[in-house]
A and B are shown apart, each in its own frame.
Chain A
Amino acid sequence: MTEFFMNLGMNYEWAWFVATICGILLIALPLMLGVAMIIYADRKIWAAMALRRGPNVVGPFGLLQSFADGLKVFLQETIIPSAANKGLFLIAPIITFTVALLAWAVIPFNSGAILADINVGLLYVLAISSLGVYGVVIAGWASNSKYPFFSAMRAAAQMISYEVSIGFILICVVLWAGSFNMNEIVQAQKGTVLGFINGFVANPLLFPMWVLFLISGMAETARAPFDLTEAESELVAGYQTEYSSMAFALYWLGEYANVLLMCTLNAVLFWGGYLPPVDWAPLYVVPGFVWLLVKILFFFFIFSWVKATVPRYRYDQLMRLGWKVFLPMSLLWVVLVSGWLMLTRYGGAV
């Protein structure tokens, strides 16, 4: 895109600057629209599984429900509790929302359609997702109220626990792809299994890691069945209890943007990203962006499905799953994958 602006007669620095701003807007605006629609989709799927109708009043089929909710929230009064730490109380939702948008910079939407094609793309995603916990923890502490505080403590422990196993799962993917660059990871999946299936998920050695990643992703984004940070029967609304108006809306948007990011990571890291499922020439006629979107929506459906059907975990079970099942298993898989690659790809030479 930089070349396009250079052709308009700008020098390189300005062209780069304008191109980057345009790229950010091109990702962030559709993402916000997508989050609004995905909230609607989530509610519809959830309703269908509970044999209800879901939102169906505002707009055709209730399609505009999210915008109506947004308007309502926007017009509300922002209430700041008198005992709250005012500065941090207001910064916390901004952190959550910003962090939810930041990680999209390294997602490849098509070959070449990536905002920041950096060498350490996957590490960047990991670094940014590890920041997500601050929005929650700061909110819980700054609210100066006991339920948000409990929720913040839970969130901190939960996110750290699952980040460890996510890190090891990603190392398995990186070992197989041989790169931390997101674009190269996608390209490495081209015909990776039997020469024609695109996606690490079809690889028998990496398939268990995908299952672990899907579940860890749900825990990392605090989605049901791991939504202990906002378990309404125990903690009112968790860390959001004291929030109202746009501060509340920022949490809502950030949360769903994070869920979408997890779905996208599933698609990019294990299901071939913008590649079609099978390495067959006619399928490449469909633009890569469409394939990626289809995969994201498919994973979002799985997330909603799980939310609608699986009961909430107990806290000790959550910790047990993270530390006693996922961590040893992913650690074992790092050894297995690297051993297998050493044996087959690198000739077994020491």
Chain B
Amino acid sequence: MIQVFSFYLFAALTILSAVFVIMSRNPVHSVLWLIMAFFNAAGLMVLVGAEFIAMLLVIVYVGAVAVLFLFVVMMLDIDFAELRAGFVKNFPLGLAIALVLLAELVFGIGAYSAGALEMGHAAAAASPQIDGASNIESIGAVLYGKYLFLFESAGIILLVAMVGAIVLTHRERKDTRGQNIGRQIRRRPQDATVNVRPEVGKGVQL
């Protein structure tokens, strides 16, 4: 009873907020609706028993990615009229993408309901849930056991992308003075101050 109620609540809110992402006039509102959609999707995942994925969705997407989205969108100076202008021109392209996604969804569901896949050794792919083990343990067993090399190569690709982004955007600035913490801590009063007693009328050599 409560499961059915929660499912329809989360599902309806996910779709509704996804619609508002593209409907709202203000980009900041769009990002906030997107966060709402992520959150409800996480709720759906909890309902199917994938609590680990649900928590990761919230931590990674809501907690980090969407914050950066929001960060960027808030900083932008957006001309709403200009934003609307491209709508008619880009409408066919958007429609084409939507149709492709719909077709993929239909094929995916059709293939799934047609029966188990027999590609190579699909036992683990078909039922990642190991009996009696929690979510995290079964994901770990699959990810760090069977698909270790795929997992590691995904990690390396991400690392390369990260290094690339830093290399592309980093610029050396010559006009700023960084703080040298080590030097500051090593510095003692006698290095910086001297005690002098000048004769009257002579002054001090600086």
Contact = CB atoms under 8 A, between A and B. Distances in A.
Given A120-B135, A120-B136, A127-B58, A88 B32 contact: yes
Contacts of B71: 137, 153, 156-157
6 contacts: A119-B136, A123-B56, A127-B63, A137-B71, A141-B28, A167-B59
A180 B136 contact: yes
A138 B74 CA distance: 10
Contact of A118 (B2, B51, B59): B51
Interface string B153-181: 00000000000000000000000000100
Interface in B1-38: 1-2, 28, 32, 35
Interface residues of B, number: 24
Given A13-B2, A120-B51, A127-B59, A137 B67 contact: yes
B122 to A, nearest CB: 26
Contacts of B68: 160
A317 B179 CA distance: 9
Nearest to A163: B63
Given A13-B2, A123-B52, A160-B64, A138 B59 contact: no
9 residue pairs, one from A and one from B, having the closest CB atoms: A130-B63, A127-B58, A123-B55, A119-B134, A127-B59, A120-B55, A120-B51, A127-B55, A141-B74
Contacts of B47: none
B78 to A, nearest CB: 13
A46 B68 CA distance: 36
Interface residues of A, number: 30
B67 A133 contact: yes
A123 B59 contact: yes
B134 A130 contact: no
Contacts of A25: none
B62 interface: yes
Contacts, number: 69
Contacts of B75: 153
Contacts of A163: 63-64
Contacts of A123: 52, 55-56, 59
Contacts of A167: 59
A123 to B, nearest CB: 4
A238 to B, nearest CB: 16
Given A119-B51, A119-B134, A119-B135, A130 B59 contact: yes
Nearest to A88: B32
Interface in A111-158: 118-120, 123-124, 126-127, 130-131, 133-134, 137-138, 141, 149, 152-153, 156-157
B70 interface: yes
A316 interface: yes
Interface string B48-82: 00011001101100111001101100110000000
Nearest to A159: B67
Given A13-B1, A163-B64, 19 more contacts: A120-B51, A120-B135, A123-B59, A126-B59, A126-B63, A127-B55, A130-B58, A130-B62, A130-B67, A131-B58, A131-B62, A133-B67, A134-B35, A137-B74, A149-B74, A153-B75, A156-B70, A160-B67, A316-B179
